[in-house]
């Protein structure tokens, strides 16, 4: 393979010694969406009514004052052969489940904008239908990610939860990007905090690439490849890696995310996840999703295809398209304030500066392309939608640097893809298997 070399060990050691300094930039590549998870067992008394069992023909209103969006997870459901469960949002967006679909989605619904849902259980023929809500997931304002929930949540929500709202807000994901070592020959920053905007200006532009989606509420990017599998970063795998959205609309003016209609949302199949997570150059994941409940389609069908992938391509310029945070200068959303472009699809192209193969389970790509938190997992691709890897890490700053990701020259990643989906670059896939046999 072209570009084979070993990163300078002295630079790697220096990066590890500066771990505390570089970690902030590494952590900037995920952007968990502020939310609270309220289980039936510990819900405030004021909410206890929404967790009661719903019988055949019954209707339940779920209303959380001040919520930006709502998502339900049903703990117990028996709809029978022809029974249905219907959830309708305030804007009329509707999702209908039968028993098989609800089981496949593990009781989880799509994400509905607004603070009110209506749930209806309809019986099948000759058999009663029942369902009960096990959890309510509540979207909070974007500002709740940086402030105390007691002050960032709307007053109506504070009144509902009192001083207990904080106990329902999940802790940060356990996984995070590893510190990004400086590129071979580049001096580490000494006068600026590592970000992921390369230079002084954010050059990302709004885009609408059909193959790139947003993973909620972990706050990462996932994208379709030919054959239908979804790729993202390994550090984007957590208990909140739940819902994949496409055709995402603008956020609110304060950066609070807005979800597309449920017909553009997909439940991630937890058992399908395969990943690598040991360092820069081996930070990747792939998974499959359930078909959409309303259209019956998978993302590759609904979005019209997927990115091509290659181990051998080595373009001089690459593009990154994903769902990074955004806001006004000089921080561009990291940290807030944020704006209507926050965690919506944006794209930028720049120079590929390095493509280094460190062995069968580590291959690093570096580039001068603007990204932000939430871009983790984005495709790194050249012309013709041919992707060469997965974006994982920030490393740019106002004075230079480069951002980084995992190349498809990582044979463990390449072989994992080949195990779940047909691969167009067959010769390179065979070469990857041969290298795994030789070096392991």
User: pLDDT tens-digit profile of 281-303?
Assistant: 999 999 999 999 999 999 999 99
Q: Which band of pLDDT confidence, cut at 50, 70 and 90, is reported for residue 4? A: very low
240: pLDDT strictly greater than 90: yes
Q: State the DSSP string of 247-279.
A: S--PPPTT-------GGGEEEB-GGG-EEEEEE
85: pLDDT strictly greater than 80: yes
Model pLDDT, residue 146: 61
Model pLDDT, residue 24: 36
Average pLDDT, the chain: 87
**Within 10 Å of residue 273's Cβ, how many Cβ atoms?**
16
Average pLDDT over residues 54-73: 95
Name the residue with tokens 């498809």. Answer: 408
Contact in structure between 184 and 401 (CB atoms under 8 Å):
no
* Of residues 115, 132, 175, 134, the one with CA closest to residue 43: 134
At 358 the three-state DSSP class reads coil
- Residues of the chain with pLDDT > 70: what percent? 85
Model pLDDT, residue 439: 36
Tens-place pLDDT, residues 128-153: 899 999 999 999 998 876 666 656 78
Average pLDDT over residues 265-289: 97
Does 7 or 226 have the greater pLDDT score? 226
334: pLDDT strictly greater than 70: yes
Residues near 427 by Cβ (< 8 Å), separated by ≥ 6? none
Model pLDDT, residue 360: 86
Model pLDDT, residue 409: 97
Q: Which band of pLDDT confidence, cut at 50, 70 and 90, is reported for residue 183? A: confident
Do 9-32+174-439 and 35-168 have matching folds? Answer: no
Q: Which band of pLDDT confidence, cut at 50, 70 and 90, is reported for residue 339? A: very high
Model pLDDT, residue 10: 33
Strand pairing partners for 308?
A: 386
387: pLDDT strictly greater than 90: yes
Model pLDDT, residue 188: 56
Helical packing angle, 411-420 and 426-439, nearest 10°? 130
Average pLDDT over residues 108-116: 98
Question: Is CATH 2.60.40 correct for 35-168?
Answer: no
Domain 9-32+174-439, second-level architecture? Beta Barrel (2.40)
Alpha helices in 354-425 (DSSP H): 411-420
Model pLDDT, residue 298: 98
Task: State the Cα–Cα distance between residues 156 and 63, nearest whole angstrom.
Answer: 11
Q: Which band of pLDDT confidence, cut at 50, 70 and 90, is reported for residue 154? A: confident
Does 334 or 97 have the greater pLDDT score? 97
State in Å, rounded, how far the first CA of the chain is from the last one. 18
Q: Which band of pLDDT confidence, cut at 50, 70 and 90, is reported for residue 436? A: very low
175: number of CA atoms within 13 Å, CB side? 24
Does 135 or 360 have the greater pLDDT score? 135
Model pLDDT, residue 149: 61
Confidence (pTM): 0.89
Contact in structure between 132 and 119 (CB atoms under 8 Å):
no
Q: Cα separations (Å) of 191 from 187, 397, 398?
A: 11, 10, 9
Domain boundaries, the chain: 9-32+174-439, 35-168
Model pLDDT, residue 429: 47
438: pLDDT strictly greater than 50: no
Sort 39 into a burial class: Cβ within 10 Å, 0-12 / 13-18 / 19+: middle
């Amino acid at each position: 393979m072209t570009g084979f070399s070993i990163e300078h060990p002295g630079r790697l050691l220096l990066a590890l010694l500066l771990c505390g300094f570089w970690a902030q930039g590494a952590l900037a590549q995920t952007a968990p969406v502020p939310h609270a998870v309220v289980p039936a067992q510990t819900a405030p008394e004021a909410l206890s009514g929404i967790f009661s069992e719903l019988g055949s023909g019954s209707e339940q209103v779920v209303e959380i004052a001040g919520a930006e969006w709502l998502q339900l997870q049903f703990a117990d459901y028996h709809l029978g052969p022809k029974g249905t469960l219907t959830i309708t949002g305030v804007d009329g967006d509707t999702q209908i489940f039968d028993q098989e679909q609800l089981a496949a989605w593990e009781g989880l619904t799509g994400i509905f904008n607004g603070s009110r849902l209506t749930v209806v259980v309809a019986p099948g023929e000759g058999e009663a239908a029942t369902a009960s809500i096990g959890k309510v997931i509540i979207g909070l304002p974007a500002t709740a990610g940086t402030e105390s929930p007691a002050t960032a949540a709307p007053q109506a929500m504070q009144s509902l939860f009192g001083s207990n709202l904080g106990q329902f807000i999940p802790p940060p994901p356990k996984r995070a990007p590893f510190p990004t070592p400086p590129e071979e020959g580049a001096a580490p920053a000494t006068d600026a905090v590592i970000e992921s905007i390369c230079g002084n200006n954010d050059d990302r532009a709004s885009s609408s690439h059909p193959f790139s989606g947003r993973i909620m509420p972990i706050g990462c990017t996932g994208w379709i490849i030919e054959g239908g599998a979804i790729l993202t970063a390994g550090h984007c795998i957590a208990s909140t890696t739940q819902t994949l959205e496409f055709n995402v609309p603008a956020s609110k003016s304060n950066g609070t995310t807005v979800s597309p209609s449920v017909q553009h949302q997909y439940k991630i199949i937890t058992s399908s996840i395969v990943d690598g997570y040991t360092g820069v150059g081996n930070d990747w994941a792939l998974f499959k999703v359930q078909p959409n409940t309303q259209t019956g389609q998978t993302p590759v069908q609904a979005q019209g295809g997927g990115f091509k992938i290659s181990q051998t391509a080595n373009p001089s310029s690459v593009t990154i398209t994903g769902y990074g945070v955004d806001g006004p200068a000089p921080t561009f959303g990291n940290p807030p304030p944020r704006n209507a472009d926050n965690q919506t699809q944006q794209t930028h192209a720049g120079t590929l500066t390095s493509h280094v193969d460190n062995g069968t389970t580590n291959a690093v790509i570096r580039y001068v392309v603007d990204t932000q938190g939430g871009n983790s997992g984005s495709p790194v691709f050249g012309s013709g939608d041919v992707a060469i890897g997965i974006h994982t890490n920030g490393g740019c700053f106002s004075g230079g640097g480069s951002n980084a990701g995992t190349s498809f020259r990582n044979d463990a990643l390449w072989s994992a893809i080949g195990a779940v989906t047909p691969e167009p670059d067959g010769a390179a896939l065979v070469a990857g298997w041969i290298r795994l046999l030789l070096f392991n």
